[in-house]
Homo-oligomer: A and B are copies of this chain.
Amino acid sequence: MMLGYMCEAIEIIEGCWEFAYLIPEVRSNLVYAKMGAKEPKDVLAIDGRITVVNEMPHASGRPRFGASSHMARLIITLHEHDGSIRAGINIACFPKLISHLEDAAGLSDVAIVKIDRSTEPSKTKKATEGSMSWKAREAIRLAGGKVPWIFYDTGDMGKEPIATIVGENSVQVADWVRRIAQGWVGLHR
């Protein structure tokens, strides 16, 4: 029932107006990988990503296996390292939000790491596929060999800064990001 978990997760996100403030320019996607996922076709994602319509988060299309490339490759590499990690979402990463994410990680007692994309080797930079795998491996390295549940970067030439939140399934991730969004809007607006 992965599709059911995705529908429930989309309901949570589309019903949370605060999440609209966390959607980056490149738009968010929510991904949910099959056990043992090896390729984007093994990963459920939202076709067309999550955008903002009428000031509310809006899943552009249906959940579909293979609908994501970037986020799918990221979750596949994380899942290969820790089989319990199967879902993730990317959000904006502006300076004020970072300390809020650090607080959220602290409250949940999970690791959060900052990735410096300027240290990425030029070899993986050339291929987006490689770039996402590098980012996942770098997050694990910085967290001392475990998958951190939140990681973020501050961008690079042509690359928007992005934070990523991961978890065991799409509902858990959606529920957590909803609480993060509500907390952030409560404090800063």
Residues of A with Cβ closer than 8 Å to B? 1, 3-8, 11, 25-27, 47-49, 51-54, 58, 60-63, 154-161
Give Cα A114–Cα B62 distance, bound, in whole angstroms.
38
A47 / chain B contacts, CB cutoff of 8 Å: 52-54
State how many angstroms separate the Cβ of A87 from the closest Cβ of chain B: 15
Q: Which of B25, B52, B60 contacts A53 (CB 8 A)?
A: B60
A154 / chain B contacts, CB cutoff of 8 Å: 158
- Of all A-B residue pairs in the complex, the 8 with the closest CB atoms, nearest first, are A4-B4, A155-B158, A53-B61, A7-B7, A48-B53, A48-B51, A25-B26, A51-B60
Residue of B nearest to A154 (CB): B158
State how many angstroms separate the Cβ of A59 from the closest Cβ of chain B: 10
B51 lies within 8 A of A27 (CB): yes
A26 / chain B contacts, CB cutoff of 8 Å: 25-27, 160
State how many angstroms separate the Cβ of A133 from the closest Cβ of chain B: 18
Residue of B nearest to A160 (CB): B158
Q: Which of B5, B49, B61, B157 contacts A4 (CB 8 A)?
A: B5
Give Cα A47–Cα B53 distance, bound, in whole angstroms.
5
Known: A26-B26, A157-B156. A61 touches B61 (CB 8 A): no
Beyond A25-B25, A49-B51, A159-B160, list 19 extra A-B contacts (CB 8 Å): A4-B7, A7-B7, A7-B63, A25-B26, A25-B160, A27-B27, A27-B51, A47-B52, A47-B54, A48-B60, A51-B51, A51-B60, A53-B60, A58-B60, A60-B60, A154-B158, A155-B158, A158-B159, A158-B160
* Most chain B CB atoms below 10 A, which of A11, A60, A154: A60
